[in-house]
Amino acid sequence: MAQFTQQNVASLDIPTLETELSRQSPQKILERALNLFDNLAISFSGAEDVVLIDMAHKINPDIKVFSLDTGRLHAETYQFIERVRKHYGIAIEIMYPDAAQIEALVKAKGLFSFYEDGHKECCDIRKVAPLRRKLSTLDAWVTGQRKDQNPSTRASVPVVQVDNAFSTNERQLIKFNPLANWSSTDVWMYIRSYEVPYNALHERGFISIGCEPCTRPVLPNQHEREGRWWWEDAGKKECGLHMINQTQES
């Protein structure tokens, strides 16, 4: 199958592709994505993402993977990233925030301003800006979003979409969400079945893991997203990496 480049990506019929792939397995969705796009990368941070890396690596060992280092991650998360790199023998491109912007924010508001005025400003600097910088170089990206991760913002996540949040007039970006229809149980069954590496924090009650100051374990029967930005309304629990969800919901 001919691979799409930025010169002809706009000609790809995304609604038809979404209909075609919506009932397919994550492996089939990934296989189609890798066949369609050469300039594609997997965004990696958590359990869902390493499942995608495992699946993609079995299809094509020469996969592209990137991760965001906010400078506020748990030590276990850095160890997890390194373990995944070695386990699959892959390069993981680490994207960092702009040091000058971080220094200015901390100087003006201290290290924990997000507890008082919300996480958006900090996440914009530490996550969204580095992600935007990376996505500006790609034609497509793959994420581990699931519909049941956050009913307030992710309930209608499709398996493939035009990412209008990060597309520009000059560059249309396609976004694949192969695990959209999976549950957390599906993810962990795969991890256990194929002995996939995972973050050691999961053994201490953490489910959804982000930056250390903004992540905590959840209690029995709490939704996984309740461990993130617990001081904010559920409808705001997106860091900006998936702004398209909030656009669709509004």
Q: Cβ distance 90 to 56 under 8 Å? A: no
CA distance 166 to 143: 14
Q: Residue 227: how many CB atoms within 10 A of its CB?
A: 21
Backbone angles phi, psi at 249, to 5 degrees: -75, -25
CA distance 69 to 159: 26
Our answer to whether residue 214 is catalytic in this structure is no
Q: Which residue has the tokens 């035009």?
A: 162
What DSSP element (H or E) covers 66?
Answer: strand 65-68
Q: Residue 146: how many CB atoms within 10 A of its CB?
A: 20
Catalytic residue among 122, 123, 211, 239: 239
3-state secondary structure of 229: coil
Three-point CA angle 137, 92, 185, nearest 5°: 105
Q: Which amino acid is at 84?
A: V
Residue from 112, 138, 141, 160 nearest 241 by CA? 141
Residue from 96, 125, 98 nearest 109 by CA? 125
Q: Which residues are catalytic?
A: 239
